Amino acid sequence: MRVLVIDDDAELAQTIGVGLRRAEMAVDVALDGSSGLESALVNRYDVVVLDRDLPDVHGDQVCAELVAAGGDSRVLMLTAADAVEDLVDGLARGADDYLPKPFAFAELIARIRALARRAHPLAAPTLRRADLELDAARHQVRRAGRLLDLGPKEFGVLEILLAADGRVVSAEELLERVWDEAIDPTTTAVKVTLSRLRRKLGDPPLIDTVPKYGYRI
């Protein structure tokens, strides 16, 4: 899952970023509305965590432009205000959910995951292919009933490949959806991760390489 955090409070934004990465999410951080909007329009995010009270481009405007541009990203709006009028106004501009500050971090994570499921409604909570089963809610993968120990990137790559249901997924798409913007686009991270994943999945092999196009299960 890839998340964009837009908040002008640098300390809070970085704290959120660290916490979400510990929850095995790929996270980018923007400290103002204009750069956040640019990132959101260029990259593909499952969820955008958006502070409403941004000083340069107001969060309401960022939200409205994201909605107008289309796309699958869900918007979770953060605000220090807890008045009903503010909540209604934020939702009216296209936010999918609303969380007043201060908030419990566990609730933030739960809401982000719920919004990500809404962003990809066709993805079943449990994905299966042959004797392989991925349980997204429990973050578990089993093959032939045996629990596999997968790292966050391995799990993310496998989830995308299973959800693609036989469609070829390019290395660029995997890089965009599983890693954050700090990754070097020329990196071999996808190949290395797939090599480890194949080894952990064991035989018979499930992941095919389609030369010049990408990978599929």
Q: State the Cα–Cα distance between residues 31 and 209, nearest whole angstrom.
A: 39
* Run means of pLDDT, 10 residues per run, the chain, 217 residues: 92 92 88 92 90 89 88 86 60 80 90 79 71 86 93 89 89 82 71 93 92 90
Q: Which residue has the tokens 């501009």?
A: 93
Q: What is the pLDDT of residue 81?
A: 62
Q: What is the pLDDT of residues 105-142, one digit of tens each?
A: 999 998 998 888 776 654 556 888 889 999 887 788 99
Q: What is the pLDDT of residue 122?
A: 46
Domain ranges of the chain: 2-119, 126-216
Q: What is the pLDDT of residue 70?
A: 81
Q: What is the pLDDT of residue 182?
A: 63
pTM: 0.66
Q: State the Cα–Cα distance between residues 147 and 134, nearest whole angstrom.
A: 10
Q: What is the pLDDT of residue 188?
A: 84
Domain range 2-119, its CATH number among 3.40.50.2300, 3.30.450.20, 3.40.50.300, 3.30.70.1150: 3.40.50.2300
- Beta-bridge mates of residue 120: none
DSSP string for residues in 72-117: S-EEEEEES---HHHHHHHHHTT-SEEEESS--HHHHHHHHHHHHH
What kind of fold does domain 126-216 have according to CATH?
A: Arc Repressor Mutant, subunit A (1.10.10)
